[in-house]
Amino acid sequence: MPTLNDLARSHTSLGEADVEHLHSLVSDWQLLADLSFADLVLWAPAKDGTGWLAIAQMRPTTGPTSLQDDVVGTFAGPEDQRLLDVARDERRIWRESDPDWTNGVPVRIEGIPVTRANRVIAVIERCTNLNSARTPSRLELTYLQGADDLARMVAEGTFPFPGADAMLVRSPRVGDGLLRLGKSGRVIYASPNAQSAYRRLGLAADLIGSELGVVTAGLVASDEPLDESLMVVAAGRVPREAEVDGNGSVVQLRSIPLIVGGSRTGALVLVRDVTELRRRERELMTKDATIREIHHRVKNNLQTVAALLRLQARRLRAPEARAALDEAVRRVGSIAVVHETLSHAPEEVVDFDEIADRVAMMAGEVSAAEVRVIPKITGSFGQLSAAVATPLAMVLTELLQNALQHGFPHAREQGLLEVVAVREPERLTVTVADSGVGLPDGFDLESATSLGLQIVRTLVVGELGGRLRIMPRPGGGTEAVVDLPVGYEPER
């Protein structure tokens, strides 16, 4: 389905600013559709005067649609063409005298010129399904009257409001609750939902007849002087959104000043109770904090385990047994590093470069007494999910350990130990290369039964679905290559 942009650029001769105006109209015309109980189609004149092209469409959420099909991207038929021409040429809202029966239901068709900088740049066709029109209630009359004012503002070029930006994630809609203010800012109509929202804010008195700005500011729980900006929004003086927090409830307001023919006729104020929504957001926020706290505790516990193993190792005489426990200390330590990083991360995603640095430092520390080789890391691991980071930290620990322990078996030895990470969006390749003594004769990764490489193989192949190779390094020493699928790199 082509977008408004595509259609406007390829099939019309509208300029940049005109298209921008239509964008902001379309981002806000749900309001007009809902107040009108009608479908809206935005028509723009096609290039070279070849007719009208539908570039956007909106259905009402307050009533049934009269346009089952999508019309965006189609050209106007002769009937519509006439109406659109008239609305443009006479620069006024134009209504067909007879309903249209094309789709088997009576539909009233109107053309509303869209004006910018004193020119009609497009026409909105408003189609009202008359089958569902009953004797209108107070609510419906108020909606329709608001719709008329808004339509006139579109035709006069004063709606959408220039430079008005939607501040909140989802603006209140007509169905959420509606207040109609008169010229002086007093409430002349309040929908049942709007009444309830103000009740929840703690209003005991009747809304009808009250000055909404003053009343609203008075409901805000605070000892401070009245909130001026809230007062101005609630009084319907400026087109803006605001949130009212009082009596344990939170209500979102959106005010739409109505200025027709140069004079203020009042305002519409849309009202939405967002108490539950805000409460859920707060809950989610504390859930994140809880997850971080748990990572923090897991890290502490792992560090305790490592400390206990270290104590136990010191009491042992047999060097082999001590070495085994030391190794266990390092394995546990590398997992603790990942949890520590996760305890600071807002999501279950970590910057692995940080972890790699710490793991390399830990590997270097253990062997510092015997070997003068310091691991050097180049390239970048990027962001990794916790599910990949934990096993990978262990794998890196084992490979570095082997290089330091087996590659440079003699004390005070010098040499090169390099970790190279190459990250693509969905793959990560890590090479651990040392310039040490090289693999023993007859080394075979597949048949190695020693614990370290068995752990590495299980994690890389079994858990991470990657590949592992260990081979002689060109120029002497050993090279281990781990190649993993890691999913998309999330945006920062």
Stretch that binds ligand ADP, among 79-87, 228-236, 359-367, 396-404 (CB under 6 A): 396-404
Q: Within positions 171 to 200, which residues make up the interface with ligand ADP, using CB under 6 A?
A: none
> Which of 406, 422, 483, 489 lies at the binding interface for ligand ADP (CB under 6 A)?
406
* 450 near ligand ADP, judged by CB under 6 A: yes
Q: Which does 439 bind (CB under 5 to 8 A by kind): ligand ADP, Mg ion, none?
A: ligand ADP
Contact 38, 127 (CB under 8 A): yes
Which region holds residue 303: left if phi is over 0, alpha if psi is between -120 and 50, else beta? Answer: alpha
Using CB under 6 A as the binding rule, whether residue 440 contacts ligand ADP is answered as yes
443 binds Mg ion (CB under 5 A): no
Question: Using the rule CB under 6 A, is 363 a contact of ligand ADP?
Answer: no
* DSSP 8-state class, residue 170: S
Q: Does 375 bind ligand ADP (CB under 6 A)?
A: no
Q: Does 415 bind ligand ADP (CB under 6 A)?
A: no
Could you tell me if 415 and 434 are in contact, meaning their C-beta atoms sit under 8 angstroms apart?
yes
344 Cβ contact partners less than 8 Å away, ≥ 6 residues apart: 292
Looking only at the bridges linking them, the beta strands covering 417-423 and 376-379 are: parallel
CB of 451 to ligand ADP, least distance (A): 6
Q: How far is the CB of 452 from Mg ion (least distance, A)?
A: 3
Rule CB under 6 A: choose which of 232, 238, 448, 481 binds ligand ADP.
448
What is the Cα–Cα distance from 473 to 437, expressed in whole angstroms? 10
Interface with ligand ADP, residue 453, by CB under 6 A: yes
For position 402 contacting Mg ion by CB under 5 A, the verdict is yes
Which of 364, 452, 476, 487 is in the footprint of Mg ion by CB under 5 A?
A: 452
Contact partner, 403, from Mg ion, ligand ADP, none, Cβ < 5-8 Å per class:
ligand ADP
Binding status of residue 447 toward ligand ADP by CB under 6 A: no
Regarding 407 and contact with ligand ADP (CB under 6 A), the answer is yes
18 vs 434 by CB, closer to ligand ADP? 434
Residue type, 357: D
Please, are residues 268 and 180 in contact by the beta-carbon 8 Å criterion?
Answer: yes
418 sits in which H/E element: strand 417-423
Cβ neighbors of 204 (< 8 A, separation 6 or more) are none
Residue nearest to Mg ion (CB): 452
> Does residue 80 come out as left (phi exceeding 0), alpha (psi in the -120 to 50 range) or beta?
alpha
Burial letters 298-335, b for 16+ CB under 10 A, else e: bbeebbebbeebeeebeeeeeeeeeeebbbbbbbbbbb
Helix (H) or strand (E) holding 242: strand 240-246
Are 100 and 119 a contacting pair, CB within 8 Å? no
CA 42 to chain centroid, in Å, comes to 28
Question: Which does residue 407 touch among Mg ion, ligand ADP, none (CB within 5 to 8 A, set by kind)?
Answer: ligand ADP
The residues of the shown chain that bind Mg ion, judged by CB under 5 A, are 402, 452
The residues of the shown chain that bind ligand ADP, judged by CB under 6 A, are 398, 402-403, 405-407, 434, 436, 439-440, 443, 448, 450-453, 478
